[in-house]
Amino acid sequence: MGMKKQTALMNHWQLCQYLRKLHLPQAVPPPDLATLKLLQDAHLKYVPYENLDILSGRLTSLEHDDMFAKIIMKNRGGICFELNGLYNWLLESLGYKVTSYAARFIDRLEEYQIRRHRVMCIELEDKRYLTDVGVNSESPRCPLEMADGKVQSDGISEYKFSRDPFFGWLLWQKERRKPWKRLFGFTEEPQLDMDFIPACIYTDLHPDSPLNKGKAISVFREDCNITIRGNLLKFYLGGRVKYRYTINTKYDLKGVLWEYFGIAVDYSLPNGGIDQND
């Protein structure tokens, strides 16, 4: 099984619609580091991470037209393969030199996980930068230079890269008042859109997938990360949850999705979207 050949770049109308979604001027910007910082920051703030399609039984599509229609035209979000897949297309269309890699999360230290995350490397002025808009928790808010051991800050957390014989590049995070921890690792085999289809199928359908059992929704603000995990709305600031609110009904969920994430779901979720085992 393959995908349609995806060599065409976004047209001017599509670029303008995308930039409008990001609340940025609709004049096509230059492909430099300043623009890359603006794009990543805006993407995290205005395009939520969400797995509502998976919970409704819909399979994830990585076709460019499908992702554009869902995320840009219907004001939805998506999982990492959709968010970073569409973002990759945007970056290429703006003239960036982009290479995608497949990454492994390392949030469970005792286990090796499959490669179920997509990241992008951008080459600019003899340097390489990691950019990522598809993590559903506090994560880098700006491009990070891929330099071994260099400590970098996005204003909220500090980050650094190290090298590992198995994981390849390891990305570390240090939140306020917390020790360094590993986020994910990736090796440098270039990936095409179609290479992420197996991981998408795993995410959608496999019994071990963490995303087909309960809500995982996230969006960023200047000083916090707002999430829904199960039936809990959480505000994560300064390395810890400062506020939490229990979502009790489908009407409550509908209001929360619109107010905080800008999502208006046009179909019914199982149990009204209220997790039964929360």
With respect to residue 7, please indicate whether it lies within any of the assigned structural domains.
Answer: no
Query: 221 and 184: one domain?
Result: no
pLDDT tens for residues 149-180? 999 999 999 999 999 999 999 999 999 889 99
With respect to residue 2, please indicate whether it lies within any of the assigned structural domains.
Answer: no
With respect to residue 190, please indicate whether it lies within any of the assigned structural domains.
Answer: yes
pLDDT tens for residues 137-154? 999 999 999 999 999 999
Name the burial class of residue 239, with classes exposed (0-12), middle (13-18) and buried (19+) by CB atoms within 10 angstroms of its CB: middle
pLDDT tens for residues 94-153? 999 999 999 999 977 667 889 999 999 999 999 999 999 999 999 999 999 999 999 999
Query: 147 and 245: one domain?
Result: no
Amino acid 47: pLDDT: 98
Domain of 120: which CATH number?
Answer: 3.30.2140.20
Mean pLDDT of 87-96: 98
Query: 197 and 246: one domain?
Result: no
User: Other C-beta atoms within 10 Å of 205: how many?
Assistant: 13
Query: 124 and 31: one domain?
Result: yes
* Phi and psi torsions of 91, nearest 5°: -60, -45
Measured N-to-C along each axis, helices 80-94 and 12-21 cross at an angle, to the nearest 10 degrees, of 130
Look at the block and give the residue holding tokens 């505000």. Answer: 235
Among 149, 178, 205, identify where a domain stops. 205
- Can you tell me the distance from the alpha carbon of 50 to that of 153, in angstroms, rounded to the nearest whole number? 26
Domain count, the chain: 2
In whole angstroms, how far apart are CA 61 and each of 94, 126, 146, 201?
Answer: 23, 34, 30, 10
pTM of the entire structure? 0.94
With respect to residue 5, please indicate whether it lies within any of the assigned structural domains.
Answer: no
Query: 27 and 141: one domain?
Result: yes
With respect to residue 108, please indicate whether it lies within any of the assigned structural domains.
Answer: yes
Amino acid 110: pLDDT: 67
- Can you tell me the distance from the alpha carbon of 131 to that of 135, in angstroms, rounded to the nearest whole number? 11
Q: Decide if pLDDT at 70 tops 90.
A: yes
Pairing of strands 117-124, 97-105: antiparallel
Query: 159 and 268: one domain?
Result: no
Query: 111 and 235: one domain?
Result: no
With respect to residue 259, please indicate whether it lies within any of the assigned structural domains.
Answer: yes
Query: 141 and 198: one domain?
Result: yes
* Domain encompassing residue 122: 12-205
Query: 63 and 122: one domain?
Result: yes
